[in-house]
Chains A and B, each alone.
Chain A
């Protein structure tokens, strides 16, 4: 891949990630997130910022399935 093409692609990806993060931040139920125990709260905040469900579920000490359920409870959408 040429350097120009790679730069363009990376800029597109960065923009997609920025938009997704904005949506997660806006829609999240922050009262719910703040009421959680520290480990869970950190995992949810990490997810809002990164959208990385695998790492976030590890931070929470939960499997993927349970963490996805928690995201629904916290009104944090998956933006993909």
Chain B
């Protein structure tokens, strides 16, 4: 069964649009929210075209944040900035975290600062933040991408790296492959 909601930031959606298996995002989630601030940052024709198709089919939803969301995003941004050991975040990714927290939506991001928020700030621990790595891993585990052996699994991740010129940290990739293997009882 697909998950209900996700909210994507700009970096994630730009890279994901280049992935040959980008359709799996539509299978994983019933709806992907796209904040207006994110759409404004996208100019690439390929990305815009894919987003438009998804908006037309209702798989993506343009999201207008409430004034309260924006205020909370600003507060989060300042909270992160007040911790010198954390990487700064800006309004678009802070907004995704705030809305993800409020609506229990998975936050899709490739922003290092946003990824660190649930790791480093206790009050934000419960927000689910996924990179493409976790998104692909979940898609395989839930059967949206068919694999029959370890090589197949590796190939799915490699395709993403090739299509987008994005590299997964090797340690995280090995862990993800092991998790999929164990979940599907392959190997």
Contacts and interface: CB of A to CB of B under 8 A. Distances in A.
Nearest to B132: A80
Given A51-B112, A77-B166, A78-B165, A69 B11 contact: no
Interface residues of B, number: 29
Interface string B1-37: 0000000001100110000000000000000000000
A63 B43 contact: yes
Nearest to A76: B165
A65 B43 CA distance: 6
Interface string B147-187: 00000000000000000111111100000000000000000
Interface string B113-137: 0011001101000000001010000
Interface of A: 1, 6, 9-10, 13, 16-17, 19-20, 23, 27, 51-54, 63-66, 68-69, 71-72, 75, 77-80
Interface of B: 10-11, 14-15, 41-44, 47, 85, 87, 90, 110-112, 115-116, 119-120, 122, 131, 133, 164-170
